[in-house]
Amino acid sequence: MHPQPRHAVLIDRLAAEYVLGTLRGRARRRFERWRDTSELVAERCTLWEQQLAPMGERLRPISPPPEVLGKIQRRLGLAPSLGLRWASAAAVMALLIALFAYWPASRAPQPDRVATINTPAGALQWRVELYTQRARLVVRSPTLAVKPTARDYELWALPAGAAPVSLGVLPVRGETSLALSDTQHRALARATQIAVSVEPLGGSPTGQPTGPVVFVAPLRAAG
């Protein structure tokens, strides 16, 4: 593509404001789609990212709370490194022994509500468990979900009479435990159904489903 000079100037201006962050709203989303499909636009964005980044690199760093790395690893289904595991192994073992010895089986946390999402062929794809007390959602996927290329499955609460609220990106396989925000908690309290949509990697960029809704399942009381 050989853009007209005026066209190139416009692209450069939009790329600069996109990277700077002042391009907002629908214009930002439209430009994002353009960047995803045009090599030239993507190139200008990369250039501005490279040129403006030193403004961010000189900011004062802040150490994140120590538990964040573990949360990331759990969400990705990655195990912490061996060093970490051995360091805490003794403590974990002692705790487990204490729990097994004294914790009555009936007090093991039970989900309040569950939803199961099956493939069209009937196989269990995801089991979603809601633990209201702990403000957690646990998603298990025993089988490898067939994921569209470069897309993620995103889970949504469908609160009665309100817009869907994102609950996060679904694991392709394994188990994910998600801490619920107040908004997600309230939405689930008012929801009788959950849904799954196909979204760009990392989830919907808009906060609302943007791709096709591929599953809807009831959220039932557990028991």
Partner 1 sequence: MIEVKRDADARELLLRCAAGDARALERLYALVAPLLFGLLTRMLRRRALAEEALQDVFISIWQRAGQYRSDRGRALPWLIGIARYRAIDLLRHERGAPVLVPEPPEAELVADAIEPAPVAGDTIEHCLGQLSNEQQRCLQFAYVSGRSHQEIAHLTGNPLGTVKSWIRRALVSLRECLES
Q: Which residues bind partner 1 (CB under 8 A)?
A: 12-13, 16-17, 19-22, 24-25, 28, 43, 46-47, 49-65, 68-69, 71-73, 75-76, 78-81, 169, 181, 201-203, 205, 207
Q: Which is nearer to partner 1, 12 or 112 (CB)?
A: 12
Distance CA 157, CA 189 (A): 9
Q: How far is the CB of 211 from partner 1 (least distance, A)?
A: 16
Question: Shortest CA distance to 211 belongs to which of 146, 161, 164?
Answer: 164
Q: How far is the CB of 174 from partner 1 (least distance, A)?
A: 13
List Cβ neighbours of 217 (8 Å cut-off, separation of 6 or more): 115, 116, 117, 128, 193, 194, 195
Q: Which is nearer to partner 1, 29 or 127 (CB)?
A: 29
151 forms beta bridges with 200
Q: How far is the CB of 218 from partner 1 (least distance, A)?
A: 27
List Cβ neighbours of 204 (8 Å cut-off, separation of 6 or more): 154, 166, 197, 210, 211
Q: Which is nearer to partner 1, 21 or 223 (CB)?
A: 21
Q: Which is nearer to partner 1, 21 or 122 (CB)?
A: 21
Give, in order, the Cα–Cα distances in Å from 76 to each of 57, 138, 172, 175, 178.
Answer: 27, 13, 10, 9, 11
Q: How far is the CB of 106 from partner 1 (least distance, A)?
A: 33
Strands 174-179 and 165-169 come out as: unpaired
Element containing residue 177 per DSSP (H, E): strand 174-179
Q: How far is the CB of 166 from partner 1 (least distance, A)?
A: 9
Q: Which is nearer to partner 1, 120 or 202 (CB)?
A: 202
Question: Shortest CA distance to 156 belongs to which of 118, 121, 128, 124?
Answer: 128
Q: How far is the CB of 28 from partner 1 (least distance, A)?
A: 8
Q: Which is nearer to partner 1, 17 or 112 (CB)?
A: 17
